[in-house]
Amino acid sequence: MFNTVSKQEKGFTLVEVLAAIVIFSIVSIVLTSYFANALSYSKSNQNKTVMINLARNALVFMQKQDYGKLHEFYHAEKFGEEHPVILGSSAEASPDLYSELFPNTDASALAAVLHPTINNVAYEINVEYEADLHQQMLGSSDQQKQKMSKNLIPVKVVIRGAAGPGGHATDSAVEGYITNEELR
């Protein structure tokens, strides 16, 4: 009666099952790391998009200000010297620092533009005069560029975000022009 049991049992051995589990684990770890990297990349792009939009907002704000006062503040067309920078941290720390430059703007509104907090992340925006670009425009052989440069102030809006997962802060910049009111 015991002799009728067949020796050809069908099924998986323990080694085959363990090998399948190991292969499945390796594949799932690789896929998990891929999705983690994709999430990290997506988050950094989202942060960069927020930063660029805030910088564009600050540039539009600057374009609506008094051209004459900004021209005087930046010492535009005076080359070879240090030019002041509008600092977002100063706008928040000393609300009345830029009151002469922006007389029609509330100090808290200026701080909200130059030192905004979005999604509990504080950003700092600095507005710099681009003297080299302005000097190139004034010294250009193209008469149209020379004529335009007298009514334009080239600026660079630099925004610095909070430190990310790597521990280092990221910067983004938007360049544009502040135009004379006569051209607006």
Q: What is the pLDDT of residues 83-129, one digit of tens each?
A: 889 998 888 888 788 888 888 888 889 989 999 999 888 899 999 99
* E strands in 6-123: 85-87, 117-118, 121-122
CA dist 124 and 54 (Å) reads 10
Q: How many CA atoms lie within 13 A of 132 on its CB side?
A: 1
Average pLDDT over residues 15-30: 95
In a domain, 6, yes or no: no
Task: Examine residue 138 and state whether it is found in any structural domain, yes or no.
Answer: yes
Structural domain including 49 reads: 29-183
Is residue 22 in a domain? no
- Length of the chain in residues, anyone? 184
- Residue 107 neighbours by CB distance under 10 Å: 16
- Does 5 reside within a domain? no
Q: Is residue 169 part of a domain?
A: yes
Q: What pLDDT score does 147 carry? A: 83
Number of domains the chain contains: 1
Whole-number Å distance between alpha carbons of 178 and 69? 11
pTM summary value = 0.78
- The helix or strand, by DSSP H or E, that contains position 126, with its residue range, turns out to be strand 124-129
Report yes or no on 9 lying in a domain: no
pLDDT of the residue at 27: 95
Q: Does residue 63 lie in a domain region? A: yes
Report the C-alpha gap between 184 and 177 in whole angstroms: 12
Decide: 137 and 152 in contact? Cβ < 8 Å.
yes
- What is the DSSP-derived secondary structure letter of residue 157? E
Report the range of poorest mean pLDDT among 18-27, 43-52, 125-134, 140-149: 140-149
Rounded distance between C-alpha atoms, residue 126 and residue 128, angstroms: 6
Q: Is residue 67 situated within a structural domain?
A: yes
